[in-house]
């Protein structure tokens, strides 16, 4: 893990008290799923779902990979998807780069793939896709719904073992405003904080 991301994880891990008790109860349901899979020595597969798979769901996918590495939880694979495919949003990419992630565009299509590297040969491959894309697991996974639209528009996800809504405010509403970059960074850090909390509970 690169030094900047490691230091950021250290800082966020000192802020768990800022998460409300109600929110912790919700997040600990994800922890419980991960612990159960770990105890059973089964692969841990997490799909983060949001309507367009362009912002919050990618933050979730990336931070879950980071948190697993940071807390030494093995056999974790993280994914993302949506109810429709668009593209990994450029403002979200900019926010992640500002936090210390090294992001490489792998092609020049309208929906390019990106390698999001956090050091030590650790990376996530991110691109916009529907939640049941062939690159995502089709069984034995948890679906973490990061936006209300996805929660409402995905009444049934085949193969899911745990489905849970951890909705976050969409930074898209601030696009084109003076606080756009601030809000994207704020959302990336919030999802990072809560995802680190989830993995901090794993024995």
pLDDT per 10-residue tile (average), the chain, 203 residues: 96 98 98 98 97 96 97 97 95 98 95 94 93 96 89 81 95 96 98 98 97
> Residue 22 gets which letter from DSSP?
H
- Select from 164, 192, 160 the least CA-distant residue to 68: 192
Look at residues 161, 150, 158 and name the one whose alpha carbon lies nearest to residue 29: 161
Question: How are strands ordered across the β-sheet holding 114-119?
Answer: 102-105, 114-119, 122-126
C-alpha span between 87 and 25 (Å, rounded)? 32
Q: What is the pLDDT of residue 23?
A: 97
Q: 142 with 60: CB under 8 angstroms?
A: no
Distance, CA of 36 to CA of 144 (rounded, Å): 16
pLDDT, position 195:
98
Q: Domain ranges for the chain, please list them.
A: 3-200
Which helix (H) or strand (E) segment holds residue 60: the answer is helix 56-70
- Give every CB contact of residue 190 below 8 A, 6+ residues apart in sequence: 168
pLDDT for position 46: 98
Closest CA to 136 of 156, 113, 159: 159
The pLDDT score that the predictor gives to residue 49 is: 96
Parallel, antiparallel or unpaired: strands 114-119 and 122-126: antiparallel
In Å, how far from its chain's centre is CA 89?
Answer: 14
The superfamily in CATH containing domain 3-200 is Response regulator (3.40.50.2300)
Helices (H), the chain: 3-12, 21-39, 56-70, 90-99, 148-153, 180-200
The whole-model pTM stands at 0.96
CA 185 and chain centroid, separation: 14
The pLDDT value given to residue 122: 86
Phi-psi region of 145 (alpha: psi -120 to 50; beta: other; left: phi over 0): beta
| pLDDT at residue 97, rounded to an integer | 97
Contact 25, 18 (CB under 8 A): no
Task: State the pLDDT at residue 157.
Answer: 87
């Amino acid at each position: 893990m690169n030094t900047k991301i490691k230091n950021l994880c250290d800082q966020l891990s000192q802020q768990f008290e800022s998460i409300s008790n109600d929110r912790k109860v919700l997040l600990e349901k994800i922890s419980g799923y991960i612990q159960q899979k770990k105890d059973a020595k089964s692969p841990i597969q997490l799909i983060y779902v949001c309507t367009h798979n362009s912002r919050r769901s990618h933050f979730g996918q990336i931070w879950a990979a980071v948190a697993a590495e940071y807390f030494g939880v093995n056999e974790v694979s993280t994914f993302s998807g949506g109810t429709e495919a668009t593209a990994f949003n450029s403002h979200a990419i900019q926010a992640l780069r500002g936090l210390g992630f090294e992001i490489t565009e792998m092609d020049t299509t309208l929906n390019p793939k990106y390698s999001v590297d956090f050091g030590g040969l650790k990376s996530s491959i991110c691109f916009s896709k529907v939640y049941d894309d062939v690159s995502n697991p089709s069984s034995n996974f948890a679906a973490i719904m990061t936006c209300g639209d996805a929660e409402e528009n995905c009444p049934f996800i085949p193969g899911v073992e745990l489905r849970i809504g951890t909705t976050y405010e969409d930074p898209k509403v601030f696009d084109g405003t003076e606080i756009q970059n601030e809000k994207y960074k704020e959302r990336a850090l919030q999802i990072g904080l809560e995802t680190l909390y989830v993995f901090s509970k794993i024995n």
